[in-house]
Amino acid sequence: EDQVTQSPEALRLQEGESSSLNCSYTVSGLRGLFWYRQDPGKGPEFLFTLYSAGEEKEKERLKATLTKKESFLHITAPKPEDSATYLCAVQRWSGGGADGLTFGKGTHLIIQP
Binding residues for other proteins, how many (CB under 8 A)?
23
CB of 11: closest distance to other proteins in angstroms?
15
99 near other proteins, rule: CB under 8 A: yes
Q: Does residue 103 belong to the site contacting other proteins (CB under 8 A)? A: yes
The CA angle 42-89-27, to the nearest 5 degrees, is: 160
When asked if residue 46 is in the footprint of other proteins (CB under 8 A), the reply is yes
In Å, what is the CA distance from 40 to each residue of 10, 11, 23, 45, 105?
14, 16, 21, 12, 14
C-alpha closest to that of 76 among 64, 63, 58, 61? 61
* CB 100 to other proteins: min, Å: 4
Cβ distance to other proteins smaller for residue 19 or 99: 99
Task: Report if residue 7 touches other proteins, rule: CB under 8 A.
Answer: no
Residues in contact with other proteins by CB under 8 A are 4, 32, 34, 36, 41-46, 49, 87, 89, 97-106
